[in-house]
Amino acid sequence: MKELRKVIKRKDAVIKQEKAVIKHKDTQLKYKDTEIKQDRAVIRQKDTKIKKEEELVHEIVRRMAQKRISLQSIREITGLKKKEIEKIIKNI
């Protein structure tokens, strides 16, 4: 009977240790989850900023084309490729 109690106590101790390890890993996972959510928010902000900047560049290219600035000059100023400039201009 005493042996059985000792075995049960040892197994209970092992179970408590395993629960502590699981709890620790769960905490780590929650922390990583929070980090991922923050990273995704930063990425969304950067994507939004890039889209706004692209829209601004497109608007500038359109205005340059409306003022009859040559494609070559627009390319030199913006660094965009000819096909990209033509595509932007077609959307006027």
Rounded Cα distance, 65 and 43, in Å: 33
pTM of the shown model: 0.65
Rounded Cα distance, 84 and 87, in Å: 5
Question: Average pLDDT over the chain, rounded to whole?
Answer: 94
Q: Enumerate the H helices of 1-92 as residue ranges.
A: 2-66, 71-78, 82-90
Residue 35: which pLDDT band, with cuts at 50, 70 and 90?
very high
CA distances to 41, 51, 64, 90 from 69, rounded to whole Å, are: 39, 24, 5, 15
Residue position matching structure tokens 């040559």: 70
Domain regions of the chain by residue span: 2-90
Res 10: pLDDT: 92
Tell me the pLDDT tens digit for each residue of 61-83: 999 999 999 999 999 999 999 99
Res 92: pLDDT: 62
Report phi then psi at 84, rounded to 5.
-65, -40
Res 70: pLDDT: 93
At residue 7, does pLDDT exceed 90? no
